[in-house]
Structures are given as C-alpha cells and as structure tokens.
C-alpha cells in the first residue's frame, strides 16, 4: 500500500500541464485504429486524469487564443465557410457555448430565449448578446468568434450523397497538414496520404460510423505526433519555419526540452439541428523532459518510438529523430 | 390519467431518451390528432434535424412519429398521429392521451434530412405524410431557402392545411385527386432548376411512383429524398416461428409484431437503434430459412446471401427461421 501512497504524493506535486495531459499510450506499441469512444468520460492516467468534459480550458487558454488571432491576421486562409455551412456554424455555437457554461458555471453562463442568446465568459470579461442565425449580431464572423472562445481547432463536415465533405472550419494549429488545401474534399480524399489505413479499411469504417451517429451524439478519439519547439502551428503553410528543425533536433543537446509529444483529443459530434459532423481538435504539447517525470510514460513512449514501423514514422515526420528520442527516454 | 400514461419502465428503444408531459392535444381531422409534448420542468428540448422523428412508447410497445417543427432550439415537440383502428395499437393509445399525461420518448432521430446545398426544396406529401415535410418547410423558411409543397389529401381530411397555406403561400399546391396531382407533379418535375432537391412522404406506392417519375425525367438519386416509414407503416406481415438454436427455444412472431419486439418480450437483449431498418444495429445471423428482407441497410448482395437479417423490420418467407441466438 505504501507504494500507492508514494505514487499519489509524487503525482500531486507534478505541474498541471503534466497531470492533465492526455497521455495516449496504453502499451509499448502503437498502431492506427478506429479508436473512438463516447465523449465526456474521465480517463485516469499515471499522472492525473483528462477527458471529463467536452471543451477543455487550461492554463494556456489566453496564449493559444492570442496565437490563433495572430495567425488568422497573417493568414486568413486558415478559416473557410462554404455558404451552405452557415447554419452549421450557428449550430456549433448553440451547442458548444451552453456546454462550456455547464462545465464552468463559476466563470461562464449562457442563456437562450428563442434565438436571442446571452454569453458571459469571465475569463475574458466578455458579456455579449447575439441572435442565432444573424451573422451581423456578432462583432466578427461567427466561426471566428467561436475561435476566440475555445482552444480547439474546428472542422465541419457536411454529409451528402452518403459521403462526408470538409466544407467549413477554422484550423490554426494543424499538425503537418493544410486546412485550406483540404476544404471541399471528401473524408476519403483527406485521408488519402495516411499509410496503412486504406488497406485496413479504417477510414471507410470510420466514415460509416460517423455518418450513422445520430444528431446530438458525442464521441472522441486521440491522435499523436511529435513537434520540435513549443509551437502548435505546424501547418503546411508555415513549413519553412518548423520543417528544418526536424533534421537538427536529434543532435541538439536541448532535445529533451525542445522535442514535444503532441496529443490531439478529437471530438466527433453530430450537430443536433443541421446533422453536420463537428470535428474538434484540441492539441496538447509536452516536452520529453516532462514526460520523463512520469516513469511509466517515459518507458511506454520510449518503447512506442523504438518499435514504430518505418512507414508510420515517416508519415508522422519523426523518422529522423525518433531513435534519439527513444534512446533518451529509455536511458532513464 | 389513462392507460397510456408513463409506464413503469422505459422500452429499450426509448432508453436514454426523455420523459415528457403532454401539454396540448388538438384534433386536426376526424382521424388525426396533434399532440404537443414538453419537459415537465419547462427546460428547452434538444434541437433536431428537420424531418426527424420521435420514438414514443405506448404501454409495452413503441411507434415512430415525425416532428412537425423546424427543430431549432424547441421548447416543445409536436407530432400528429393518424388513428389506425386495426394497427398494433400504438395510434389508438396515442389518441387516448390527455393533457398532463407523461410519456417516454426517444431523443429525436434523423433519417430524412434536408440537403444543405439545395437551392430550393420541392416537398411532396400525401395524407399524414405532411408531418415531416411541414418540418422541412419551416426550417427552410428559417434558413432563408425557398420551398414549395404539393400536398395531396382527401377533401376534409387534410391535417395542417392552414399552417401549410400560411407558411408557403403561393408555394403550396393542394390536390384532392390523382389526376390533378399527376398534372402538377409532371409540371413541377420538368420545370425545376438543377439545385432543387425533392422530398416525398406518403404511402409507399405513392412515394415509389413519385421517385420513379423523377428518375425517368432525369433527376439524379442524390437529389431525391424519401421518408421511409413516416406515413405508411410496413405491412403487418404473415406470422412465423423463430427457432433460437443456441437458446434452445422457439418463439411465435404474430402478424403486426416485429421479430425484435418478440425477442425483447422473451427477455433477449438485442442491440438496436433506429428500429426502422436503417441503422444496421439489430443485425442477426440466420442459420436456416429465407428472411423477408424489408430493411434499407443490407446491400442487395447481402440480402441475397440470406445469412443475416435486420430483426426490427424483416420477417420470414418461410414458416420457420433458424437464428444463431
């Protein structure tokens, strides 16, 4: 029993960013799977827990919202809403703001009367009244406004002709993909470059599953990659800024602090009024040095990196440094 | 309170759903009544996709009814129920509901959604089939998309006629016989622009006829939408026997009762969602006998193999079916 007590004492002293981190590996090996589960379920980890709610707000809230603002000002192509998706954007707002208020009753509130809504966000000293369906009732485009309230990237997939189409979104923190390039594509087209999944039929099975979700249903999955530097925007558009680091990090003495495990908690929600599929991507970064503070994480991640097949390591863009990272983690 | 008041336990099809109170009952015609349901605490109800239906429990059974509102942030749900004297009893029970009665209902389910890219919605309804297309017309008006409606009903027996007139104005064409409907239909099918989507709800033969004509006139199936069971319930079907090989029991499935309901009554838990042959949840392995496939889920090839069936709607061609259950 003393071991348990020691462990609890240990984790309690860990900083929040570690205790709340959605560490994704259950074992020493990773493969793609349609790893979806119902949303809003607390998941204990060896350092703490994550996942009790839908919209996670943490210590990086203001920083990430400010980063998003700066990115959008530099590059407006990170947001697009095809005209037929306007109702889905409002459906998203009418779904997420009440959820945030319910999850954070001390700092947020949402009231709706007919289409008139009042939203209070104490973190931003924001009190605002707007009308669902009336774009002019918000100080900016509705999707952009939502992007100032949540840390998640937002993707909306319309369902037509038994196919899902990426027809709207606001994605400032893409991990090695281009939102603007994918707008208008089908779900299968978007996932064309992912190795293995076509043979294993994972993408078409996932699409069938998502299209059969009933409006109002909420599921989630996790995905992961690695990032050099503490930056969430590793989009195709900014490749020249972050791409070259991947070739030098293995020999960099600061690798344990610069190299991060990036985990995405992705929510999959059939919106209640439009039936559009809302895909939220909430991204978390944790440097190797922090991961190593949790012994089981250090070992599991070290083994996952060592074992990961070449094609998957290549696709994730980690092939040039995964051995160095694995060696450092497993050296303890 | 009546016998249709809140039963002790929720039927599997409405589990995870809502307990609502009847707040209004108003006759639409001699045989159609509109029933309004609300949360007893006055809380807002979940929004729904236009054309959605509710599964409503009556006694030990359940029935699906189309919601007639736009689905945008509703505080109440309204359904309209046609009384079917020789049906399974659901509609008769629904007609006995009074204000203050409580019922178990599912969350709204979507199986007849509008196309977001449509530039115009052409709605076609016969009889009680008006209910889901009324929802479509309301949502289209909300979203600023135009819609028009061809509504066929027997004189004096039309539900929601006044609402349709108010909502659609000159976009509504009312027909009381087959000849006048056919004339309007042909005219509309040949004059729509390419962005128009067509939605039809009514008896199966009516829907088939409309869809066949549209296809013949060059409409692509992506622009054609029909509500599978909104108006016309499936035929009751012949009684048959199922032999549950692993359980070692035989059950009789009477006419008008589904195989799924029969299994549930016998204490079997069968995963299921839509109970309409669309979602694929209630698939069962068939060992012997030929199922009468009535679902929309299995492919033609899968149906021909006769090794699986959707027990919520499908029945048996043979007097007995053997199931791996």
**pLDDT per position as a tens digit, A10-39:** 677 899 999 999 999 999 999 877 677 889
Kindly identify which residue of chain B lies nearest to residue A111, measuring between CA atoms: B44
User: What is the pLDDT averaged over residues A213-218?
Assistant: 88
Residue A214 pLDDT class (50, 70, 90 cuts): confident
Interface probe, candidates B13, B14, B47, chain A, greatest A C-beta count within 10 A: B47
**Nearest by CB: B72 against A215, A216, A273:** A273
Helix (H) / strand (E) containing B126: strand B120-126
Kindly identify which residue of chain B lies nearest to residue A158, measuring between CA atoms: B116
Q: Of the given ranges (A68-72, A167-171, A241-245, A258-262), which has the lowest mean pLDDT?
A: A241-245
Kindly report, residue by residue over A85-123, the tens digit of the pLDDT: 999 999 999 999 999 999 999 999 999 999 999 999 999
A88 has a chain B CB within 8 A of its CB: yes
A132 has a chain B CB within 8 A of its CB: yes
B67 has a chain A CB within 8 A of its CB: no
Candidate list A221, A231, A289, A320, residue with the active-site label? A221
Smallest CA–CA separation between A85 and chain B, in Å? 7
- Find, among B91, B108, B107, B106, the residue nearest to B4 by Cα: B91
For A271, the token pair is: 């919106």
- Find, among B277, B288, B280, the residue nearest to B316 by Cα: B288
Concatenated DSSP letters of A52-121: SSSS---TTHHHHHHHHHHHHHH-GGGEEE-GGGHHHHHHHHHHHHHHHHHH-TTTEEEEEETTEEEEEE
Q: How many CB atoms lie under 10 A from the CB of residue A205?
A: 12
Interface probe, candidates B13, B73, B222, chain A, greatest A C-beta count within 10 A: B73
**Nearest by CB: A84 against B71, B113, B116:** B116
Kindly identify which residue of chain A lies nearest to residue B140, measuring between CA atoms: A87
- pLDDT score recorded for residue B275: 73
pLDDT at A126 over 60: yes
Contact assignment for A275 to B46 by CB distance below 8 Å? no
Smallest CA–CA separation between B279 and chain A, in Å? 7
- pLDDT score recorded for residue B111: 87
Q: What is the distance of C-alpha A232 from the center of its chain?
A: 10
Cα separation of B181 and B175, whole Å?
A: 6
- Which percentage of chain A shows pLDDT scores above 70? 95
What residues contact residue B8 under an 8 Å CB cut-off, 6+ apart? none
- CA angle in degrees (0–180, nearest 5) for A86-B129-B55: 75
Contact assignment for A275 to B143 by CB distance below 8 Å? no
Alpha helices by DSSP H, B57-196: 90-95, 130-143, 161-168, 178-189
Cα separation of A78 and A66, whole Å?
A: 15
Q: Which residues pair with B173 in a beta bridge?
A: B150
Kindly report, residue by residue over A268-285, the tens digit of the pLDDT: 999 999 999 999 999 999
Q: What is the pTM of this model?
A: 0.84
A221 is catalytic: yes
Q: Is A248 helix (H, G, I), strand (E, B) or coil?
A: helix
Distance (Å) of CA A279 to CA A145, A148, B166: 17, 17, 38
**Nearest by CB: A273 against B48, B107, B273:** B48
Q: What are the chain B neighbours of A158 within 8 Å (beta carbons)? A: 116-117
User: What is the pLDDT averaged over residues A207-235?
Assistant: 90
User: What residue has token string 């809302």?
Assistant: A278
- pLDDT score recorded for residue B208: 94
- pLDDT score recorded for residue A211: 86
Distance (Å) of CA A310 to CA A170, A252, A322: 32, 22, 10
- pLDDT score recorded for residue B228: 67
pLDDT less than 50: residues of chain B: 1-5, 230-233
- pLDDT score recorded for residue B2: 39
**Nearest by CB: A160 against B72, B108, B117:** B117
- pLDDT score recorded for residue B9: 66
Kindly identify which residue of chain B lies nearest to residue A95, measuring between CA atoms: B47
- pLDDT score recorded for residue B61: 77
Kindly report, residue by residue over B83-100, the tens digit of the pLDDT: 988 777 788 899 999 999
């Amino acid at each position: 029993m003393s071991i348990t007590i020691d462990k609890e004492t240990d984790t309690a002293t860990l900083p929040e960013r570690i205790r709340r981190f959605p560490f994704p590996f259950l074992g020493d090996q990773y493969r793609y799977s349609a790893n979806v589960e119902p949303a809003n379920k607390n998941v204990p980890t060896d350092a703490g827990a994550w996942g009790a709610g839908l919209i996670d707000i943490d210590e990086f809230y203001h920083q990430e919202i400010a980063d998003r603002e700066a990115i959008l000002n530099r590059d407006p192509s990170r947001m697009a809403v095809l005209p037929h998706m306007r109702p889905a954007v409002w459906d998203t707002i009418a779904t997420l703001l009440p959820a945030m208020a319910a999850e954070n009753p001390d700092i947020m509130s949402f009231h709706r009367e007919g289409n008139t809504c009042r939203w209070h966000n104490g973190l931003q000293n924001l009190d605002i009244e707007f009308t669902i369906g009336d774009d002019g009732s918000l100080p900016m485009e509705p999707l952009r406004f939502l992007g100032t309230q949540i840390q998640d990237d937002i993707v909306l997939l319309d369902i037509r002709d038994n196919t899902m189409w990426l027809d709207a979104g606001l994605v400032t923190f893409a991990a090695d993909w281009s939102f603007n390039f994918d707008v208008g594509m089908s779900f299968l087209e978007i996932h064309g470059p992912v190795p293995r999944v076509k043979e294993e039929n994972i993408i078409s099975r996932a699409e069938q599953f998502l299209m059969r979700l009933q409006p109002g249903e909420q599921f989630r999955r996790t995905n992961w990659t690695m990032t050099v530097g503490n930056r969430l925007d590793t989009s195709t558009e900014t490749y020249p800024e972050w791409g070259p680091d991947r070739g030098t990090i293995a020999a960099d003495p600061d690798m344990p602090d610069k190299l991060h495990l990036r985990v995405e908690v992705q929510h999959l929600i059939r919106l209640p009024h439009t039936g559009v599929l809302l895909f939220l991507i909430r991204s978390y970064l944790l440097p190797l040095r922090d991961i190593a503070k949790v012994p089981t994480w250090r070992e599991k991640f070290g083994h996952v990196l060592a074992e990961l097949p070449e094609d998957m390591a290549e696709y994730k863009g980690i092939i040039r440094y995964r051995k160095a990272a694995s060696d450092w983690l497993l050296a303890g | 309170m009546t016998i249709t008041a809140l039963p002790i336990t929720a039927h599997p099809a409405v589990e995870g759903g809502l307990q609502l109170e009847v707040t209004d009952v108003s006759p639409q015609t001699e045989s159609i009544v509109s029933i309004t349901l609300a949360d007893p605490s006055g809380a807002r109800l979940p929004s729904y996709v236009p054309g959605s239906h509710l599964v409503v429990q009556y006694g030990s059974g359940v029935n699906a009814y189309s919601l007639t509102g736009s689905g945008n942030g509703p505080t109440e749900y309204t359904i309209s129920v046609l009384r079917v004297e020789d049906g399974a009893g659901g509609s008769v029970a629904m007609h006995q509901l009074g204000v203050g009665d409580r019922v178990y209902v599912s969350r709204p389910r979507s199986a007849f959604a509008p196309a977001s890219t449509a530039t115009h919605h052409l709605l076609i309804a016969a009889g009680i089939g008006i209910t889901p297309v009324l929802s479509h017309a309301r949502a289209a008006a909300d979203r600023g998309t135009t819609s028009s409606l061809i509504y066929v009903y027997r004189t004096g027996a039309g539900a929601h006629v006044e609402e349709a007139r108010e909502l659609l104005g000159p976009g509504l064409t009312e027909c009381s016989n087959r000849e006048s409907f056919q004339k309007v239909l042909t005219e509309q099918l040949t004059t729509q622009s390419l962005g128009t989507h067509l939605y039809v709800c009514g008896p199966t033969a009516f829907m088939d006829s409309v869809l066949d004509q549209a296809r013949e006139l060059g409409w692509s199936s992506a622009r054609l939408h029909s509500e599978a069971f909104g108006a016309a319930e499936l035929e009751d079907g012949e009684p048959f026997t199922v032999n549950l090989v692993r359980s070692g029991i035989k059950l009789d499935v009477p006419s008008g009762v589904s195989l799924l309901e029969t299994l549930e009554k016998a204490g079997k838990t069968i995963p299921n969602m839509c109970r309409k042959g669309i979602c694929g949840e209630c698939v069962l392995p068939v060992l012997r006998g030929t199922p009468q496939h009535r679902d929309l889920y299995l492919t033609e090839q899968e149906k021909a193999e006769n090794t699986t069936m959707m027990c919520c709607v499908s029945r048996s061609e043979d007097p007995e079916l053997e199931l791996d259950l």
